[in-house]
Structure 1
Amino acid sequence: MESNAGDAGMDAGMDGLHGNRGMFRVRRMETTLVRPAAETYRGLYFLSNLDQNMAYMVELVFCFKGNGGKRRDNVSEVIKQALAKVLVHYYPLAGSLTLSSDGKLIVNCTGEGVPFAEAISDYEIEVLGDVTVLNEPSKLRNLVLSFDSATNVTELPLLTVQVTSFKCGGFVLGIGMNHCMTDLPTLMEFIHSWAEIARGLPLTILPSLDRSILRSRQPAKIEFAHHEFEKNEKVFNIQEEQLLYRSFSFNPGKMTLLKTKALEDGVINKCTNFTVLSAFLWRARTRALKMDPNQQTKLLIAVDVRSKLNPPLPKGYFFSGITFTCCLCTAGELTTKPLSFAVKLVQEAIELATEDYIRSAIDYFEITRGRTSIENTFMVSKWTGLPFYNADFSWGDPIKVGPATIKHNWAVFVPDGKESKNTIVSLCLPVSAMKIFQEMMQFNFILKSSI
């Protein structure tokens, strides 16, 4: 099967980053199923209430440098054989989603296997440009085995793998991850284990698969107002025109400027890179969309529960350890008040996410079956600080890692390479709003404006 990707804009700069121009072709071979290399448990595997909200695919590409010569013919086979072996330890990934008797998602551990595709490109890997920069998702999605034809969540795979070889000897490992199974820290533990097996090494960390630690309490009780689940009657639709994907670089100097702006009125006395950047992007996006001042707007913040629970979760705990907390205000408040107002909302939302709050959120789903509402919502997810660049399958660590696509209301923060201190923010907006948003991302705009 041959897959084509369209042109991507050509430009690179601090305030708006774009990919390389040109057609890019991939020849994908027949997809196979990679089954665990040994017999594994067959039966139903429990998913916690935290997992129930996360049944969507997250797609990543890991780019590995060429050897300056011909293709490495054994790459796909080494990765495939290692996958079969690591699935013995992570056997739920070889199963499929189904519904339990009480209507919750659960995994049927059938051992049927993980969809695996091999692909070839007649280009050098450099044609991809910098994959940390998301400008033309159709280009990168050729490198991931996607299941866009799925009509409901139970048809989504739990994991997909594609290995694309380039004529220079470089290759791309494209991974589709069902978020109900893992979050990114857990995914990276899985990938590291997979890579260790590919290098002939024993596993450093064995997975702990029992998710019952995060069952709802008996009796379940809701102790907080969980606005993240509440729907807004008045919906602001951003998908009425073409959406553009863009990425923006925030270096240490730009982050220092944002912090200075946030602290200058004395409302807050400190802030982190994540809180100030989340607040800044939320305000800029709301302005760019020209939302009605009386329209409610919501910022959803993905919070890692690992550091919140006592006793701590077991080492290697295999789960999707994300819950959401949120900020709420009107568009008018957000865009007319100083940046410190938005930063304080973000700080308060993060501080709210205690163990009691997390347990209450687990119980909220148990009682109401309510799912996180995304109407009038902007979601931020921090991927910086994760060991993306420690994934050696025998050919060295990846040279670049990035998302193959993101949802229309997401912004993801990714590291700009292994050694860089810059943060790349990727998101999408309607064409008209993106023009305004790009102007607000410029260093000089931040410097001169009263944000």
Structure 2
Amino acid sequence: MSNPQKVRHISECFVKPEHALEEAKRPFYLTPWDLAMLSAHYIQQGLLFTKPPAADEQEGFIDTLLNRLKLSLSRALVHFYPLSGRLVTKTNENPPSCLIYVDCDNSPGAKFIHAALDLTISEILSPIDVPLVVQSFFDHDRALNYDGHTMPLLSIQITELIDGIFVGCSMNHCIVDGTSYWHFINSWSEIFQAEGNDISLARPPIHKRWFPDGCGPIINLPFTHQDEIISRFEAPTLRERVFHFSSESIAKLKAKANAEYKTNKISSFQSLSALLWRCITRAHRLPLDQITSCKLATNNRSRMDPQLSQDYFGNSTHAVAGVATAGELLEQSLGWAAWQLHQAVVNHTDKAIHGWMDAWQQSPFIYQARFFDRYSVMMGSSPRFNMYGNEFGMGKAVAIRSGYANKIDGKVSSFPGYEGGGSIDLEVCLPPDFMSALESDEEFMDAATLPHQWHRIEDKLYLSRVEEVNATQQSEQSNPKQTVTTADEHKDQLG
């Protein structure tokens, strides 16, 4: 959905760590996991908050908020100092190669932007598709991680809406995976809530780099020019929509999958991912002999022996996949599809992780957009991340949204549902025709419900289901004489 409104940038500055650590003066070396991400986009995710009720009457509300955010950010960067650095490349002539690492010392720091947009929360959340204007809530549009040589590795954009605040974060994917991304946000929130008091983080990040035996910390890549490392790409025209799955609906999917395959080992998320795999494959209308896959972004930390701490700061993920022909996938049951994903996860062991590392060392490669084919479903992010637990003086966020980055046909990002309890929101990206087919898929729509939304009544925000709002709209359209509000007031009420 297009939107004529444009975000206005009001100010920007750079934020450095409140004080420098000795370890921040040394190079921060990148592991094979990190280096493989050089040609991917930054991670772009953010939180939408409602302004406090008296914010408009409170003189200096936004200035006070911005100052507190910058101060707490500078303190968070002491703990997460690599995010204030820049990438550096040193080339070698014999043999021809390059070393890419993070210089945390000679850098202006992280970027901090204050922006504004004359739209309401309901105008952002009520449309069926995520409005395109949401992409402008993030800095580093279309930037690749390699661009961290000249661009900040972390950029925060605070976008002020008429009745809300969006905190958008763009973070270099060579420095963090999703686990480390939300670890930083959680810690920043923790420091913000401490209101200037010195605190010891509940989970301080671990910066000691993990390398397989015989590898690192200095890794010379067999490339001498950036064209050998990166390839820029534009996503096709996509519709982006958020679907909600209640804890009850997911429990039914899990029970169905396990019953169909006569097991009790299939997880809730494997069942939900299997549903997406089947339904998106059907929407794509693939030939029956076409090979298709469902890839799951998987955290390596707990699968290694010995285990790597969940507080390890950096990348430690792989994508595991269930594979089948389109005909096989659609002829078999949901339980069969879920079992393929279960087996892919079970087989992702310490041995498999080290096997990937060994192969990468023999022939280093950088992930490119061409690695993701249009016959696959890619399940990214995780409903396990603590997203709604972050507060910045405005209470609990009302929604999570993401930017342009890394979106392709078949990309699905999973977030915890607003109400918690095991509910999940899925952000699905598909070309328009395929999205329409998914919306008409009975198997999919029987499991999905419309997400919670916010609408305005008498200048107060209320949480409701979209179908409740739509029912009210339909009632008023069929009984126009009973409606006494003006068109503009009606828009405010129902979003």
**How high is the TM-score relative to the length of structure 1?**
0.80
1:159 Cα deviation after fit: 1.4
1:125 Cα deviation after fit: 3.8
Contact 2:154 2:169 in 1 (8 A): yes
Q: 1:421/1:206 Cα in 2 relative to 1: closer, same or farther (>3 Å)?
A: closer
1:411 Cα deviation after fit: 0.7
Contact 2:245 2:447 in 1 (8 A): no
* Gap regions ≥5 residues in structure 2: 92-96, 217-233, 449-495
Of 244, 247, 256, 1:249 maps to: 244
Summarize the alignment of residues 146-225 of structure 1 with structure 2, pairs less than 5 Å apart: 146-148=140-142, 153-155=147-149, 157-168=152-163, 170-198=164-192, 199-201=195-197, 202-204=199-201, 205-211=203-209, 213=210, 215-218=211-214
Q: 1:299/1:314 Cα in 2 relative to 1: closer, same or farther (>3 Å)?
A: closer
Q: Distance in 2 between matches of 1:52 and 1:134?
A: 37
Of 124, 127, 133, 1:139 maps to: 133
Q: Distance in 2 between matches of 1:46 and 1:149?
A: 21
Query: What is the aligned residue count?
Result: 406
Q: 1:418/1:100 Cα in 2 relative to 1: closer, same or farther (>3 Å)?
A: farther
Contact 1:252 1:422 in 2 (8 A): yes
Q: Distance in 2 between matches of 1:362 and 1:441?
A: 42
Give the match for residue 45 of structure 2.
Answer: 60
Q: 1:357/1:315 Cα in 2 relative to 1: closer, same or farther (>3 Å)?
A: closer
Q: Distance in 1 between matches of 2:169 and 2:443?
A: 33
Sequence identity (%): 24
Give the match for residue 14 of structure 2.
Answer: 33
Contact 1:91 1:111 in 2 (8 A): no
Max Rg structure: 2
Deviations 1:354-387 (CA, angstroms, capped at 9, x unpaired): 1121122222211121345322432112521221
Q: Does 1:407 align with 2:401?
A: no
* Gap regions ≥5 residues in structure 1: 8-22, 221-237
Q: Does 1:113 align with 2:109?
A: yes
Q: What amino acid is the match of 2:440?
A: E
Summarize the alignment of residues 45-444 of structure 1 with structure 2, pairs less than 5 Å apart: 45-55=28-38, 56-69=41-54, 70=56, 71-99=61-89, 102-103=97-98, 105-109=100-104, 110-129=106-125, 135-148=129-142, 153-155=147-149, 157-168=152-163, 170-198=164-192, 199-201=195-197, 202-204=199-201, 205-211=203-209, 213=210, 215-218=211-214, 242-266=237-261, 268-314=263-309, 316-372=311-367, 373-375=371-373, 376-405=375-404, 407-408=407-408, 409-419=410-420, 421-440=422-441
SS of structure 1 residue aligned to 2:166:
strand
Contact 2:137 2:157 in 1 (8 A): yes
Q: 1:312/1:200 Cα in 2 relative to 1: closer, same or farther (>3 Å)?
A: farther
1:316 Cα deviation after fit: 3.0
Q: What amino acid is the match of 1:389?
A: Y
Q: 1:336/1:105 Cα in 2 relative to 1: closer, same or farther (>3 Å)?
A: farther
SS of structure 2 residue aligned to 1:51:
helix
Contact 1:96 1:154 in 2 (8 A): yes
SS of structure 1 residue aligned to 2:169:
strand
Q: Distance in 2 between matches of 1:248 and 1:335?
A: 22
Q: 1:418/1:300 Cα in 2 relative to 1: closer, same or farther (>3 Å)?
A: same
1:174 Cα deviation after fit: 0.7
Deviations 1:158-207 (CA, angstroms, capped at 9, x unpaired): 21101122344x32211112222122232222223222333224132322
Contact 1:365 1:371 in 2 (8 A): no
Q: 1:104/1:323 Cα in 2 relative to 1: closer, same or farther (>3 Å)?
A: farther
SS of structure 2 residue aligned to 1:369:
coil
Contact 2:380 2:412 in 1 (8 A): yes
Q: What amino acid is the match of 1:42?
A: K
Contact 1:98 1:107 in 2 (8 A): yes
Q: Distance in 2 between matches of 1:288 and 1:103?
A: 44
Contact 1:61 1:173 in 2 (8 A): yes
Q: What amino acid is the match of 1:387?
A: N
Give the match for residue 223 of structure 1.
Answer: none
Contact 1:439 1:445 in 2 (8 A): no
1:76 Cα deviation after fit: 1.2
Give the match for residue 224 of structure 1.
Answer: none
SS of structure 1 residue aligned to 2:63:
coil
Q: 1:342/1:92 Cα in 2 relative to 1: closer, same or farther (>3 Å)?
A: same
